[in-house]
Amino acid sequence: MTTTPTDDGKGLAGTANPAEEKAFSRWRSILGNFIGSSQQSPSPAPNAANSENGVASAPVDPQAEEKDRARCERWKKKLLQSSPMVKFMLENLEKAGCPFTEKHFRCTPCDVTRAGGFAPNFGVVLCQNSFLSKQHMEDTMTHELIHAYDQCTAKVDWNNCEHYACSAIRAANLSGDCKFTRELRRGFFEVAKHHQACVKRRAIAELKQLPHCQGPNVAEDAVRAVWDSCFNDTAPFDEIP
């Protein structure tokens, strides 16, 4: 059953009626200002302004867009049914009092620099035109579900850069974002402590997409301030997967 947010942030709203659909569309239009995962390459990740707030603005081929949407929906259903990581996160969200269902995941076209996003009132956006593989989509879903878990179990102030940094660290650390093979494809070849370096880099890049966490060293300082406690916090996993 779909729940609505309470004052303490528990619960996630669905999109079952026209009013909620309209609100979802408004949220989608400012996706870049919410919790999200980016398609980070060796070059710096663009900020929200440079990526048109995360939403594709260039003309698209309707047939290609529909093909992307159908693939996204197909992979989404398959991963919700069979992915150990996604199912584990869904089970733990339900245990924590925030049940998450298929309608909390929305496939939509985005700027290609983004893979997904999360907003407490609506759930997860899956950027249908950005996924390189079903594994990439699985990692993105897990990343966003870790943000959802943090929203459910902690009093997260997403406007506080250190709060956000903690969840960004946890999401990069636990989701599969920093697998060695993923790092090689991005062009990063460090061997020693590659995982920690990746988590730190991606958390900083995620914060830099937020207007309130931009500025000289704001993102870097926020990640540094919470690094030890948040990198070592692997809940709901017993250890880094």
Q: Which residues are identified as catalytic?
A: 144
Instruction: Tokens for 185, please give them.
Output: 């494809």
CA distance 93 to 172: 18
| Contacts of 186-190 spanning 24+ positions with Cβ under 8 A | 186/40, 186/41, 186/42, 187/41, 187/42, 188/42
Reduced to 3 states (helix: H, G, I; strand: E, B; else coil), residue 90 is: helix
Q: Which of 85, 88, 230, 90 is nearest to 168 (CA)?
A: 230
Reduced to 3 states (helix: H, G, I; strand: E, B; else coil), residue 124 is: strand
CA distance 86 to 80: 6
Report the chain's terminal Cα–Cα distance, integer Å: 29
Residue given tokens 């990063």 in the structure block: 188
Buried b (16+ CB within 10 A) or exposed e, 125-156: bbbbbbbeeebbbbbbbbbbbbbbbbbbbeeb
